[in-house]
Amino acid sequence: MSKSVIIDAGRSPVGIKNGQMIGIRPEDLAAQIVTKLLERNNSISADMIEDVVVGCAFPEGPQGMNIGKTVGILGGLPEASTGKVVNRFCGSSMDAIHQVSAAIECGDIDVGLAVGVEDMFSVPMGGFAPDFHPELAEQEYYIGMGETAENLANDLNISREDQEEFAIASHEKALKASADGKFDQELIPINVNDEVTVKNDEGPREPDVEKIKSLSPAFVEGGTVTAATSSPISIGAAAVLMTSDTFAKDNNLKPRSEITARAVAGVHWNRMGMGPLPATKKALAKAGLKMNAVETIELNEAFAAQALYVIREGDWDQNKINHNGGAIALGHPLGCSGARIITTLINVMEQQNTNVGLATMCIGGGQGIATIIKRL
């Protein structure tokens, strides 16, 4: 059986409210990443791409009409190219990576693109016309994500002060990484409607400690989760170029990493943020590894309380996690984030000279997803 390897990965800057990324269509945004990724890997021609799988949490409006095929055509792939959309909410583009990986390993394809995109400004969370099932609504199945973070904070007595400290560290790490050029390899500048070129993430900022401490709870009266300790609404895209190991060898390509294990797991929806724990446990078992073998971790920061819950309940080494900051600073464009953290993980592993990495995230509705990669 073939192994699935990652040849390269890149992402857009992540844009936030009132930023310069507002106004670009999500299809055009994702297409620019595809175009630039293929340009810098010109040993793989566009007609070699056998499938494009796009992860998007709310594939409607400008993100609808099979954005998988749309992104491929706009990105320069021939009309004979194929594409599809996968929706696993926050885990959508990590699932897209899993689907391309699985297709390669079972021999269906040799080359594929996994893409993630989300414009949370043009398509709101929940979409344009949510229609909740009454039975599930009575069970609070559609609970707000912020409320689930409050539940986890209460479960482990995670204080507001600890959450704020975590959020401040996320911004400080991201700012330092940007200043030190740690994002240069993964960032692809974006031309926004021929008006401006955006080269850097818009979210990271110098923390205003007094303002952070003055904020009211965002989701529950008397709660501890605030806007400052939550990932901001955002826009972004990322893409991962993958092949079989035999294709890479036959075409003299140098893969950057190999996918070792993939896993998803379910949890109760009112504590969806704990999803990375069982998903990681499953992925480690598939890889035949213990947690202490993992050297570098990208844990999506939906909320500081959620990330701290996973770290503390799992007894994870925080020194291995999110070296260049996380989603609280960078932003969490839902369908993009899985591919974004895989892209960042590959780069951090190269920067840290580590060999085994884990990318994992929680998923609204009660799931977790995890990917283990090996640096090549």
Show which residues are catalytic: 90, 332, 362
Cα 367 to Cα 269: distance, rounded to the nearest angstrom:
8
Amino acid at 228: A
Q: Which of 202, 198, 185, 190 is nearest to 32 (CA)?
A: 190
Hey, what are 114's tokens? Answer: 């996994």
Name, in order, each residue with C-beta under 8 angstroms of 93's C-beta and a sequence gap of 6 or more.
Answer: 54, 55, 56, 86, 114, 115, 116, 117, 238, 335, 336, 337, 338, 339, 340
Bridge partner list, 83: 52
DSSP secondary structure of 222-279? T-S--GGGBPPPEEEEEEEEEEEHHHHHHTT---SEEEEEEEEEE--GGGGGGTHHHH
Q: Which of 8, 25, 194, 187 is nearest to 118 (CA)?
A: 25
Q: Which of 339, 371, 364, 142 is nearest to 266 (CA)?
A: 364
> How many CB atoms within 10 Å of residue 220?
16
Q: Which of 241, 248, 255, 247 is nearest to 35 (CA)?
A: 241
Residue pair 63/20 in contact (Cβ under 8 Å)? The answer is no
Residue pair 178/214 in contact (Cβ under 8 Å)? The answer is no
In terms of Cβ atoms closer than 10 Å to its own Cβ (0-12, 13-18, 19+), residue 61 is middle
First-to-final CA distance of the chain? 18
Hey, what are 229's tokens? Answer: 């300790």
